[in-house]
Structures are given as structure tokens and as C-alpha cells.
Structure 1
Amino acid sequence: MVTVLVLTGGGIAAVLFVRRVRPDLYWMIIGGPAAHIRVTWSYASVMDACGLSVPPSRARILLARAMRREMPANRPPKLLRVRQTRTGLVARIRLQPGQDAYDVITAADRLRHSWRLHHVAVREIRSGVLELSMTGYDVLNRVHLPARAERSPLRVPVAVRGDGSVHYRDFRRVPHSLTVGATESGKSVYQRGLIKELASQRVALVGVDCKGVELAPLARRFTALATDPDTAADLLDALVAEMGERFQLIRAAQRISADTPDAQITSDIWGLPDKTRPVPIVVIVDEVAELLLVSAASQKKRRERIITALIRLGQLARAAGIYLEVCGQRFGSELGDGVTMLRAQLTGRVCHRVNDEASAKMAFGDIAPDALAAVLAIAPEQRGVAIAADSTGGWSRIRTANVTLRTAVAACNRHADLTPDVPALSDFRPDLPPLPDDATGVPVPATA
């Protein structure tokens, strides 16, 4: 008897330990199958309790009266299928006549409580068919990017979403982006993770770091780096000139004649042959406020040069293969004229914890007002948690994997030989000592 109790207690302790340390493993073995049975078994009663069922049709009522049978029960949405995933369940349902997708969306929190799940999200697949993505545990508690996450040119994984899927930064689809966050919110970790993933790709990294401490340790992988506003103004002007040269190259390939195949007609660099296509450029601006704030009247001309160049790049540079990644604690009209015009060009938005509601409105007020409450709910201890949205109005909760500075530096040093040479930016190439053979990824100061 004692042996049985010891073995039973040890088994329960082992299960509880696995549930805490490896929730994904626990979910796949125990939690997922149990939740699958719970959802399918109680589906009809839960839908009825949540007000998501409709009265039977008039024909069924008349048939029951004619045959003197019990009146049929209310009908819930039809459950088409349920499948288990690595982080939860995915159910597909078909709405009954008279129901609307909004009814299920508003009841998502009640469904979460009824089925004892962590999160339930609803999206419309097609007219009358919805997909319920149910998360079984808090996937944002301990974030690890899957080793098999898809990677392609200018599309890299940077975070994990609340439903367990990978959040990608896709520069081809969303060319320009704004990242906002207060001090110690995880904004710098997000930025380091992005640079670490881009380091192994054929892309030119251009940095503007007026603090001189965020991007400088990663300088071996940067084609150009500016660490003060004056140098940044010259660097952005050089990028505008490079953009003009690339437009000339595209126009030269647009000599359209009647026998030119449609596939050879292009309006951006991606339609050019591989031999003549210039390398894409990702411009990373750290702490944009330090770049745009002025303390004397003599600095206003420099600020006008900077904001004009950024606006031109935001409006035109996508076709030239130049992409903007702007980061800062705040990004509003108090930074001066032209800031709101630049913000309108930044399609992607990522907002970490902020100190006030106005900062959240600066990020999402113009594209996804529904995300404001989610941003303000991020607690100070939730470093790396953010809300990601774009101009479509959709948004999702994400968390960045913890990328240390040493890890990012080691990746940049390892791929330093991939740093492309852009002649127009050669004057801004970081001046660095040779990398020793036994380099351990220790940050090395850089000068622009």
C-alpha cells in the first residue's frame, strides 16, 4: 500500500513538474487530449449557455406537433471539426441561419471560461464559417522561437503570437514599420532579435543610433552607421541619392516594346535580373526622438533635412528596395513638423508597454483603435510583450524571445563577411579593428 501511494505521489509530482517546466509537452500528452474531449462533449450545452444557439426551424416545430413529440431543442452552430495543435485546439464551425460572426466574437471570453482554456480567438474563414483558435496555456510566458521557423529573404521570425504561431517581420509585404515602447519594455530586445535574423541574409544594414550604444556593438554587420544627428543627416541624404540611382536603373529596364514579355516589365528592383538587382537596404533608426529634437535655432535646418529625407524614403523607397524600421519611446507631433506625415508611411506598428495612453494612441490610434486597451494592459514585469498591428486594422499580442546583446554580437561577427558594399554609403562604413580569430562575440565599440 505504501509503495502504491509513493508511486502515485511521484507520478503526480512528475506530471505537475512537467506542466510547469514544459507546458508544451504536458499539453501534447495530457492537456490537449483532455481538452479535446471536453470541448466536443460539452459543445452543444456550452453554446446554448453562451447564447449562441437559435430556435428550431418552423418546419421542425410543425413536424413535432403533428407527431406529438417533444419540441426540438435549440440548435447551436454546427461543429465541423476539431484538431489539436502544439499549443491548443482549432475548431471550425458553421453558423446557423440568423447568426452573425460578431455574436461568436463577443462570446469568446465566455467560451474560454466554459472550456477552461487560456485564450479563444475567432476569425471568419468565409461567409458562415468561423475558425476558433483556442490556446491551452500561456504561450507567452516562456518564449522560444521554433527551430524550424520559416525563413526567407527579408522575412524573418521575431516573436511568438498569443495563439502560439510565429510572428514574422516581412519587409516585402510591410516595407516600413514603427516600434514604440517605454524604457525596459523590451523594445531593444525586439530590435536585436531582428538584426540577429537579418545578419545571415544578403541585405545591407544601415543604422542610425544617436545614443551610440544600441547598434554600435553590432557594427561589423552594418554597411553604414551614424552615431550623431549631423552624420545621420548626411547618411539619410546619401540614401535618398542611392534611391534615385536605383530608380534610374529600374527605368533603364522599362524599355517596353510590343514583344517584351509581361514578366520582364517591372516597377521595382525585384523584377530586375539577379545580376543587376541592387542589394536591399534595411534602415534601422534607434530612438528617433534623439534624432529629431533640437535645442537651438541653428539645428532646425538639420532637423528639416532629416525629416524630409525620412518622409521621401517612406513614400518612395519601397520600390528601390530600401526599408525603414523606426524605433522610439514616443513618436508624436511634439517632435515637430512632418512627424505625423512620416508616421502615416509606416504601415507596420509594434507597441510595447508605454507610460501613458497618448503614446499608445500615437501607435494605434490611426489604424487599430481596438488595440489600445490591450497595450495599456501590459504590465511592467511583462518585458518583451507587445501588440503588433498593421493598416488592415487587425492586431495580435506577441512576445519577443530573449536575445542577449552577446548573442546578437556573435551573430553579427559570424556573418560579418556577408556585409555588402554600397558605394554610395562607403563614407559611413563603421571603422572597426580587425576581428581576432578567437573572437567570442564581446561587444567592440564602433565609430561611424
Structure 2
Amino acid sequence: MGWLLIGLALVTGLVLLMRWRRPAWYWRCFGAAAAVVRVRLRYADVMEACHLTAPPSRFRLTVARWLRREVPRQRVPRLMRITPTRTGVRLRIRMHPGQDAFEFAAASDRLRHAFAIHQVTTRELRPGVVQITMTGYDVLKEVRMPARTKARLLRVPVALREDGQVHYRDYRQVPHSVTVGATESGKSVGQRAVIAELAPQPVALAGIDCKNGVELAPFARRFSALADNPDDAADLLEALVARMEDIYQVIRREQRISADTPDAEIAANIWDLPEHLRPVPVVLTIDEIAELTLSAKKNDPRRLRIITALIRLVQLGRAAGIFLDIYGQRFGSELGDGITMLRAQLTGRTAYRVNDESTAKMVFGDISPHAVFATTQIPNERRGMAVVASTTGEWTHIRGPHVSMRKAVNTCNRHAHLTPYVPELARFKPVIAPVPAPPAEAA
């Protein structure tokens, strides 16, 4: 009996140690099964306690009144499917008439406590069906990206979402984005991750870094163009505008809009062009937008050129295969005229830890007040954690893996041979200084 107790205590200790040190292993071995059983047993009681039930139908009430029986109980929404995942449990629920997916979203915190789950997110799949994704442990505490992802051209994995899914930067769906974050928030690490994931793809990378190139210059071997001061940046942006206009001329010539041409074959962007005519896509990374747009002069002609070119690119660049990623600590009207109009054209919104609420409102104020509040709650010790939202109002927490400067530079150098030649950007091609030879030892 004593040996049995010792063995039981040892097994319990190992399980608790696994839960602490390797929560993903613990979840797959024990946590998922326990969560499924817990949900099955508590489902009806939890739905009633969280006020997610519907009143009985008029027919049942009428029958009960005729037969002089008790009033029927509240109806529990039907649990259609429960599916364990590698990070949690996914429920698919059929709602009753009169229920709304927003009710489940509002009750997500109560569901989290009731089912003893770390995180609960909800999403409406189709009318009448809501999906509840439960995360069994804190997947953002120690980010481990899956070995296999659904990456493709201009769609790169950059972080994990709080529900355990991979977050992608998809330029085909979200062509332009803005990312803000305070110093030491992890914004630069996220920028490195995007560049490192784009390096193996057949795309042209361009950069504007007005901090003398300290952030983007290490990746110069993979960049087709790089500007490290506002004068060169203005010329680079205007060169991209000229390239965009030339591409539109190519699309116009190849539109094939004769009466017998199917609608699906009419060219309206570079992806509709034949492969031999399709220009290489260009991804432009702008580091610290304030250094590019701030000016001590009123009506500065250089700044006017920069803002005009940026607005034209974000309005028209998608069809020409030109995509923008803009980074900065703040992105508001204090940067001058045209910034608000520029921000309105940026579909992708990401915010790391910020120093004040007004910065979060600059990014999410026109999208979701809940995202603004979530951004201000990011703790200092969670570097790399951010809130990402879209113009539909949906938002979620994400956190990317730590990508060191050395790893990102090595990735760019390893794929330097993929750097395409872009005629319009040839004069902005960064010059790589040769590595000096070590001094000879004295005899």
C-alpha cells in the first residue's frame, strides 16, 4: 500500500511538472480529455447560469397551460459538435430563435471561469451557428510556431493568436498596414519576422529608414532599394509611383475586354496578367513614420512630395503589386496634414504596448473601442504581444516568436540571390561595403 501511494504521488508530481513546464504536452496528454468531459457534464448548467438560454416556445407554453403542467424550463442551445484541438477545445452551437452571437461574445469571460479554461473567443460561422474556441493554456506565454504553416506567395506566418491559430500577414487580402508600439515593445522584432519570412519569396523588398538605416541596413543584401534620409525617401516614393503608373499602362494594354472575353479573364491587376508579363511585387517597409513626415518648416515642399506619393501608393498600389508596411511609435494628426487621410487607407492595424491611450485610439479608435482598451492592458513584460484588428471590427491578441537580428540577417543573406532587379529602383539599390581584411600580425 505504501509503494502504491508513493507511485501515485510520483505520477501526480510528474503531471503537475509537465503542466508547469510543458503545458502543450500536458494538454495533449491529459488536459484535452478532461476539458471535453468537463464541458459535456456542465454544458446545460453553464448555459443557464450564463444566461445563454432561450425561453420556451409559445406552443410548449400553450400545451403546458392546457394540461395544467409546470411552465417548461428555458431551452439550452444545442451543442452540435465538440472538437479537441492542439491548444484547446472548439464548440459548435446551434442558437435558438431570438439569440445572437453577440450574447455569447459578451459572456466569454463567464464561460472561461465556468469551464476552467484559459481563454474563450467566439465567432459566428453562419446564421444560427456560433463557434466557441476555448484555449486550454496560455499559448502566448512561450510562443512556439508550428512546424507546418499555410504560407504562400505574399502570405507569411508572423505570430500566434490567443486562440492558438497562426496569424498571417496576407498582402493579397490586406495590402497596406500600420503598426505602432512604444520603445522596447517588440515592434522591431515583429518587423524583422516579416522581412525574414518574405526573404525566400520572389518579391522585391524596399525600405525607408530615416534613422540612418540602423534598422533596415543589416538586411541590405536582400533589398532592391533602401533610403536612409528624407531626400532619398521622397525620390524613392516617386519612383514607386512612376512604376505604378507604368504597370497600369501594361494592365490597360492587356485587359482583353472584347465582347467574347469571359469576365474572369479581364485583367484588372497584375495577378490577371500572363506570367511572362506580370511584374514582380514590391513590399515597401517604412520604419518610424515620424522621422519621414515631421518637418520644422511650414508647407515644406519635400514633405508635400512624400505625403502625396504615400497617399497615391496606398490608394492605387494594390492592383500594381505595391504593398506598404508602415511602423511608428505614434501615427496621428500631430505628424502634419495628410496623415489622417493616409491612415484611413491602411486596412491592417496592429498595436504593441503603447505609452498612452491616445496612441491606441489613433489606430483602433475608428474600428473598436474594445481593441483600444485591450491595447492599454498589455503588460510591460510581454514584449512582442500586440493587438491586431481589421476594419470589420474584429480584433485579437497576438504574439510573435523572438527573431534575433542575427537570424534575420542570415536569412536575408542566404536568399540574397533572389533579389530581383527593378529598373525604376536601380539607383536606390544599397551598396554593400566589402568586409575589411583583418590586419596582418607583426613578425
TM-score bin (small chain): over 0.9
5+ long unaligned stretches in structure 1: 437-448
8 A contact 2:256–2:265 mirrored in 1: no
**Counterpart AA for 2:195:** I
1:47-83 deviation line (CA, Å, top 9, x unaligned): 1111222343344355456667665432211111111
- The Cα shift of 1:116 comes to 0.5
What's the TM-score once normalised by structure 1's chain length? 0.93
- The Cα shift of 1:194 comes to 0.3
- The Cα shift of 1:182 comes to 0.5
**Counterpart AA for 1:43:** Y
Counterpart check, 1:223 vs 2:216: no
1:16-68 deviation line (CA, Å, top 9, x unaligned): 22112221111111111101101111111111111222343344355456667
Any idea what SS the aligned residue of 2:323 has? strand
8 A contact 2:386–2:399 mirrored in 1: yes
Counterpart check, 1:331 vs 2:363: no
CA separation of 1:207 and 1:48: change in aligned 2, threshold 3 A: same
1:263-322 deviation line (CA, Å, top 9, x unaligned): 43111111111111100000000001011112346x921111111111110111111100
Pick which of 117-126 and 95-104 moved more.
95-104
Any idea what SS the aligned residue of 1:303 has? helix
8 A contact 2:93–2:130 mirrored in 1: yes
**Counterpart AA for 2:288:** E
Counterpart check, 1:382 vs 2:382: yes
**Counterpart AA for 1:107:** A
Pairing of 1:179-198 with structure 2 (within 5 A)? 179-198=179-198
Pick which of 260-269 and 81-90 moved more.
260-269
Pick which of 255-264 and 152-161 moved more.
255-264
**Counterpart AA for 1:428:** F
Any idea what SS the aligned residue of 2:319 has? helix
- The Cα shift of 1:8 comes to 2.4
**Counterpart AA for 2:277:** T
- The Cα shift of 1:197 comes to 0.5
- The Cα shift of 1:172 comes to 0.6
**Counterpart AA for 2:223:** F
Pairing of 1:141-180 with structure 2 (within 5 A)? 141-180=141-180
Counterpart check, 1:120 vs 2:102: no
Q: What is the match of residue 245 of structure 2? A: 244
Pairing of 1:45-64 with structure 2 (within 5 A)? 45-61=45-61, 63=63
Any idea what SS the aligned residue of 2:283 has? strand
1:156-200 deviation line (CA, Å, top 9, x unaligned): 111110111111111011110000101011111110000010000
Pairing of 1:4-403 with structure 2 (within 5 A)? 4-61=4-61, 63=63, 72-211=72-211, 212-296=213-297, 300-403=300-403
1:313-372 deviation line (CA, Å, top 9, x unaligned): 011111110001000000111111111111111111001111011100110112233311
In structure 2, C-alpha distance between the alignment counterparts of 1:426 and 1:158, rounded to whole Å:
29
Aligned residues: 435
1:212-256 deviation line (CA, Å, top 9, x unaligned): 211111111100001111111111111111111111111111253
In structure 1, C-alpha distance between the alignment counterparts of 2:5 and 2:62, rounded to whole Å:
59
In structure 2, C-alpha distance between the alignment counterparts of 1:153 and 1:166, rounded to whole Å:
16
Pick which of 50-59 and 30-39 moved more.
50-59
In structure 2, C-alpha distance between the alignment counterparts of 1:353 and 1:275, rounded to whole Å:
44
In structure 2, C-alpha distance between the alignment counterparts of 1:372 and 1:77, rounded to whole Å:
32
Q: CA RMSD in A?
A: 1.8
Any idea what SS the aligned residue of 2:317 has? helix
Pick which of 57-66 and 329-338 moved more.
57-66
Any idea what SS the aligned residue of 1:238 has? helix
In structure 1, C-alpha distance between the alignment counterparts of 2:245 and 2:100, rounded to whole Å:
50
CA separation of 1:277 and 1:435: change in aligned 2, threshold 3 A: farther
In structure 1, C-alpha distance between the alignment counterparts of 2:409 and 2:268, rounded to whole Å:
36
In structure 2, C-alpha distance between the alignment counterparts of 1:273 and 1:97, rounded to whole Å:
50
What's the TM-score once normalised by structure 2's chain length? 0.94
In structure 1, C-alpha distance between the alignment counterparts of 2:398 and 2:147, rounded to whole Å:
18
**Counterpart AA for 2:232:** T
Any idea what SS the aligned residue of 2:159 has? strand
Pick which of 123-132 and 307-316 moved more.
123-132
8 A contact 2:196–2:411 mirrored in 1: yes
In structure 1, C-alpha distance between the alignment counterparts of 2:89 and 2:344, rounded to whole Å:
37
CA separation of 1:263 and 1:123: change in aligned 2, threshold 3 A: closer
5+ long unaligned stretches in structure 2: 437-443
- The Cα shift of 1:257 comes to 2.3
8 A contact 2:317–2:323 mirrored in 1: yes
Any idea what SS the aligned residue of 1:82 has? strand
In structure 2, C-alpha distance between the alignment counterparts of 1:367 and 1:99, rounded to whole Å:
25
Pick which of 281-290 and 65-74 moved more.
65-74
Any idea what SS the aligned residue of 2:327 has? strand
In structure 1, C-alpha distance between the alignment counterparts of 2:276 and 2:434, rounded to whole Å:
30
In structure 1, C-alpha distance between the alignment counterparts of 2:356 and 2:305, rounded to whole Å:
30
- The Cα shift of 1:121 comes to 1.4
In structure 2, C-alpha distance between the alignment counterparts of 1:58 and 1:315, rounded to whole Å:
54
- The Cα shift of 1:103 comes to 2.3
Pick which of 64-73 and 170-179 moved more.
64-73
Any idea what SS the aligned residue of 2:231 has? helix
Any idea what SS the aligned residue of 1:274 has? coil
CA separation of 1:98 and 1:265: change in aligned 2, threshold 3 A: closer
In structure 1, C-alpha distance between the alignment counterparts of 2:385 and 2:228, rounded to whole Å:
28
Pick which of 252-261 and 361-370 moved more.
252-261
Q: Identity over aligned residues, as a percent?
A: 59
Q: What is the match of residue 440 of structure 2? A: none
In structure 1, C-alpha distance between the alignment counterparts of 2:45 and 2:305, rounded to whole Å:
64
